[in-house]
Structure 1
Amino acid sequence: MKESQLPKPPYRIIYNYDSGPIFFQKEPVTPEHVDRMVDDVADAGADVLLVCANDQTTCFPSRTWQRFWDGFEEGDMSFFVDVPESRIENRIHWIRQTKRLSAECDYLERAMTRCRQRGIIPGITMRMNDMHGGGEGPKSHMRSRFYQDHPEYHTRCIEPRGYAREALDYAHPEVREHAMTLIREFVEHYDHEVLELDFTRFAFYFDRDDVDDHCGIMNGFMREVRALIDAGNRRIALIPRVASNPGAARQLGFDVEAWGRERLVDGLTVSQFINSGWEMPIDHFRSLVGSDVALYAGSMASGCHWDGLPPDSLALSPELMRGFASGYYGLGADGVNLFNFFTPLNMKPPREPCYATIAELRDPDRLRRSVRRHLITGGAELVETDLPGQVPDDIGKDKSRSFEMVLTAEPEGAEVTARVFFDGANEPEDLWLRIGMHSIGHAHEIQKGPDGHDGKVRPESKPRRSRIAVFPLPHGVIQDGRNEFVLRSENVGTTVLGIDVCVGGESRTAP
């Protein structure tokens, strides 16, 4: 380890606060609202609060980058060219809020100061290639002047990348210097201890192919960031957020093995783009970056998007939060990074996220003894970054399929149940399960599952009328880390929509 660098970060719980929510509220935002924003996270028990400072423009009064409200004049609707009319009213409110707060305080400075006062580690997260404003034209105010003035710096259009398909191309030195300008401002002017470079917002920094060249470019960029931090007078842990698989990360230009070998980073957050990934290979990342780099499993507010079924919200389920963290501790993670945790507040009607459960995620032993629920990943949102969804999967008559789940072994006396959500005519004697070396046998019973025809499914999904095969598990079947599930459909074929494992507390029934 270089003498100037920090030891391995000790944090367990990192809370990632989005750039917008504080400005979405109806009442005028004030410095006291910033304080309360920090207080909510500190009271919940997180170790680090990462405050997002930017999209393509900044939400704080930056000295170097275009600010979100720059160029806006009351009544001038030309500011909203290329913005759908249905979005303009909310955009005006958002801009007024950021501008109003900037007249009273520096949002980022206020948040960092409040973190110090409340004893939570202050951090900044920077979106490295933001492309919010999907469906809007190239002259939308969500696109910075730098972006609009330099179409030659855009990646070529690759349709599967969605509305991030024409992001800024980091092959251009000018693009990298543009990003470095804001990073320098953070390092030189703001009192923080953690800097997250969010390479998943958004995920595309180059055209496809030429992977070795792209990795070389980004390695040079990361060396520059590392040198900047090491030369400063603040001790800042550099913890980027990258795609959910080290191979996928490398294809996108991020050679995490080199970052670990050169100790360019102090930690990594591994994350999907929009939905939580339940089998991210933390152990593979560990083998590449070594033991001195902290690894965090990044969750999203959504627990899963199983095809044709209503989505599960991780932020609204203590059982899912515990299962997510516990499984990754069993796989060797150092902690969790909670992203977009606030989103239930945007539901109609709004719902309060489970802040009270956050502190529980610090203690792996407590989580092992807790009531928890583990899921299988389904419905990849962005094919170049996310885990391939294991479900839905069709199993023919008298055929079998293998699935993988990341779990933590249960304590003595806890009830454990595996549940298979399926769309088919199977009866208990038609579905048979093996987990690792253990033959579980046929399903104990079939229950009615959730229906997906209530308008909550994703538009591209076919609504399902699911059923649930229930498999009580003997003690000692599941193990810490990866677990193989082999499911056989006898007599009739079926479609597997999802699998979960429910672990009860001591002498308690699984949910």
Structure 2
Amino acid sequence: MSTEHPKNRRNFLRTGLLRAATIPTLPHLLSASPDNAVTPPVPPRKTSLDKHRNLFNGDTCVYFYNPELWQPEDFSLKTVVNPRTGKPNAKPTVVGGPFQAKAIHRYVDLLADNGIDTFVINANANRAWYPSKKFPSILDGYKRGDRDYFRGHAICQGITEPEAVEEFLDNFTLFMNRYQDLIDSGVDWLAETSKACRRRKIAPWVSIRMNDMHGSRNPEGSFFNHPLFKQKEMRLQRAYYGLQNTHDRQGFNYEKPEVRTMMMEQIREVVEDYDFEGLELDWWRQPLCCEPGASPETVAVMNDWFRQIRALTQRQAKKTGKPYPLGMRIPGALDQLKAIGVDVVTLCQEGTLDFIIPAGFWATTWDMPHDEFRKRLGDRVVIYGSVDDGANSLPTQNEAETVRERMRYIGASPEIERANAAGKLAMGVHGIEWFNFFCSDQNRLSGIKADYTALRDIHKLDFLRGKPKHYCFSTAAQFFNPTPFELPAQLPASIGPFAQRPFQLAMCAEPDNQSLELVVQVVLKAGDKPGYMPVSVNGCWPNLTSQSTNKLLMPCGSLTHHTSDHVGYNYRFPVALLTDGWNKIVVENQSKDPITVAAIELAVQAKTV
């Protein structure tokens, strides 16, 4: 099927693309060279972070989610009879144990073998998740098998029905017992992480979540929560509005000296008492600091507090004789961050921060304005690109319709990983941080598995050129786009009759000496009936020829097709149209009825005949 009339289709296919290749386009990298060879990028400036280009962020559960992968001789997935109900569990259960330090070392081995140079391990949620000696820890007071210790957290997972609560406790108790296994054997998993990194010559960094809200729906009753969090006066009261979830916005209020003292105690312990050499302050978990509309005086107090952290890391650097960079993982909303007391611009310009990592909350960003950040933040700070594990909120499924997901776990797609990294590198970022990559380790979902081999050399732009890629656009959805901090998504977008809409995406230029082509897929609601729907790339003459399909451009694990809600329309273009940095796609609606563009995706792939 095509949006082009059949009698015109063959002629346009033969002549349209040739015409597109010769029509003037936006200035781009490839046109600067007579033979269309890619111009080498400007060498990056020297910095103490030169050896830190391929970063992997692991949360507090990174080893513990899938022990059957990292300790397969002791753990396996089985269908078992639940001792509480006497019936088989509906889903496979991880059985075996005890959990041991060798699983940590194997995971770090996997990262090292696949080119990761820096492991950024997360140490905390609302409490410390490691066996802290100075800070309330997640299992303080827990006795093995005490299901009631976790009962108050069920509601935080949205679980309220009595039987569902008991099933949650069945699974969660087994999960948390893996941490208890290490405690019982005298192993501090956080210290073991840095030990494993040192053995494999990976730089160990630590990440602190500044306002984790996993236990926020039950402040007094969830075992996740620090004792200070149970005091309402220590929590934010005005950080939410409209119909947004009030619970997830009532984080610690950093205007309170008690909160700053408490968090400094946590940070001081991981810096001074552990063998790390870099600190990331994670403001995406969550972007909550001071009450919105923070006064200049409040911002000044917070800036001074961040400078104290900087002094702490500098003392540690002097003690070890190695640099100890300090940075932040942040939303791409600098002004909104300052409005809650986090003045990223000042901290970067004055040199308090060595690096920033602008990111999405869960779904990865495809249009992060790294070029604008460089202009605002100055040349002193290093900017990393964050590749987060969610592609966007476009629902997809396998061909048999037995697996359906509300998003794609892009750790299962080397092509999507390459595209996301390439777009960010082409925008001038220093390197890449992988966030939530391990969530693609979905042994319980058919055909979805993280491909760690794809991480090797993926921080090198020249390595990525000419390789297959699958670009996506960010799409709006409640789960993936927490306002006002998430970048406003360009899609979905309605296009009225005889109207057009531009969309921009960060991509990289490709060499034109390979048998590659660019395919643009415009995804519409299934009920839309487009007549003529021309598409252009970077100012080329609009292409009217498309083929309708229910298939994704490239598979993501077992996810290969659109759901019945959507239909894709594929357009082919010369790959030479692409440029380093921003690329513009224009979609026209040359019909009498409006259409809704749900998504736009692009593939750099081998030419089809």
Report the TM-score when normalising by structure 1.
Answer: 0.90
What is the deviation of 1:322? 0.2
User: C-alpha distance in 2, partners of 1:304/1:279?
Assistant: 12
The higher-RCO structure (CA 8 Å, 6+ apart) is 2
| 1:113 and 2:215 correspond | no
What is the deviation of 1:345? 2.1
**Residue-by-residue CA offset, 1:270-323 (whole Å, 9 max, x unaligned):** 111111111011111111222232111112211111378852221110000000
Does structure 2 retain, via aligned residues, the 8 Å contact 1:44–1:356?
yes
Residue 145 (structure 1) aligns with: 227
Residue 344 (structure 1) aligns with: 440
Residue 257 (structure 1) aligns with: 345
For 2:525, which of 407, 423, 445 is the aligned residue? 423
What is the deviation of 1:204? 1.3
User: C-alpha distance in 2, partners of 1:169/1:355?
Assistant: 38
Residue 208 (structure 1) aligns with: 292
Residue 310 (structure 2) aligns with: 226
The 5 Å alignment of 1:432-447 reads 432-447=534-549
**Structure 1 pair 137–464 and aligned structure 2 pair: CA distance change class (3 A):** farther
User: C-alpha distance in 2, partners of 1:161/1:216?
Assistant: 29
The total of aligned residue pairs comes to 493
Residue 353 (structure 1) aligns with: 450
What is the deviation of 1:246? 2.5
User: C-alpha distance in 2, partners of 1:509/1:69?
Assistant: 56
Does structure 1 retain, via aligned residues, the 8 Å contact 2:293–2:340?
no
Does structure 2 retain, via aligned residues, the 8 Å contact 1:161–1:382?
no
User: C-alpha distance in 2, partners of 1:347/1:203?
Assistant: 31
User: C-alpha distance in 1, partners of 2:530/2:457?
Assistant: 37
| 1:19 and 2:60 correspond | yes
Match for 1:490: what amino acid? Q
| 1:53 and 2:118 correspond | no
User: C-alpha distance in 1, partners of 2:530/2:176?
Assistant: 57
Instruction: After superposing the two structures, state which structure 1 stretch, 294-303 or 88-97, moved more.
Output: 88-97
User: C-alpha distance in 1, partners of 2:248/2:129?
Assistant: 21
What is the deviation of 1:241? 0.4
RMSD after superposition: 2.5
Match for 1:116: what amino acid? R
Unaligned runs of 5+ in 2: 1-45, 68-93, 155-164, 397-404, 553-557
Does structure 2 retain, via aligned residues, the 8 Å contact 1:199–1:240?
yes
**Structure 1 pair 214–313 and aligned structure 2 pair: CA distance change class (3 A):** farther
Residue 394 (structure 1) aligns with: 494
Instruction: After superposing the two structures, state which structure 1 stretch, 176-185 or 344-353, moved more.
Output: 344-353
What is the deviation of 1:189? 1.3
Residue 178 (structure 2) aligns with: 97
Match for 2:58: what amino acid? Y
Match for 2:471: what amino acid? H
Does structure 2 retain, via aligned residues, the 8 Å contact 1:316–1:354?
yes
**Residue-by-residue CA offset, 1:372-410 (whole Å, 9 max, x unaligned):** 111111024201221112111111111111211111112
**Structure 1 pair 88–301 and aligned structure 2 pair: CA distance change class (3 A):** same
| 1:83 and 2:153 correspond | yes
SS in 1 for 2:450: coil
Match for 2:64: what amino acid? F
Does structure 2 retain, via aligned residues, the 8 Å contact 1:16–1:49?
yes
Does structure 2 retain, via aligned residues, the 8 Å contact 1:408–1:478?
yes
Does structure 2 retain, via aligned residues, the 8 Å contact 1:419–1:471?
yes
User: C-alpha distance in 2, partners of 1:74/1:471?
Assistant: 59
For 1:286, which of 371, 374, 383 is the aligned residue? 374
The 5 Å alignment of 1:437-476 reads 437-449=539-551, 465-476=565-576
**Structure 1 pair 162–229 and aligned structure 2 pair: CA distance change class (3 A):** same
User: C-alpha distance in 1, partners of 2:306/2:297?
Assistant: 14
Instruction: After superposing the two structures, state which structure 1 stretch, 293-302 or 438-447, moved more.
Output: 438-447
Match for 1:387: what amino acid? L
Unaligned runs of 5+ in 1: 451-455
Instruction: After superposing the two structures, state which structure 1 stretch, 274-283 or 285-294, moved more.
Output: 285-294
Instruction: After superposing the two structures, state which structure 1 stretch, 468-477 or 195-204, moved more.
Output: 468-477
Residue 333 (structure 1) aligns with: 429
User: C-alpha distance in 2, partners of 1:272/1:211?
Assistant: 26
User: C-alpha distance in 1, partners of 2:49/2:117?
Assistant: 15
Determine which structure has more spread, i.e. the larger CA radius of gyration: 2
For 2:212, which of 110, 124, 130 is the aligned residue? 130
What is the deviation of 1:160? 1.8
**Residue-by-residue CA offset, 1:54-110 (whole Å, 9 max, x unaligned):** 111222221211111101134555433533324322332233222221232221111
Residue 462 (structure 2) aligns with: 365
Match for 1:331: what amino acid? M
SS in 2 for 1:442: coil
Give the ranges of 4+ consecutive aligned residues of structure 1 lying more than 3 Å apart after TM superposition.
74-78, 133-138, 211-215, 307-310, 424-429
SS in 2 for 1:186: helix
What is the deviation of 1:208? 1.9
Does structure 2 retain, via aligned residues, the 8 Å contact 1:372–1:503?
yes
SS in 1 for 2:457: helix
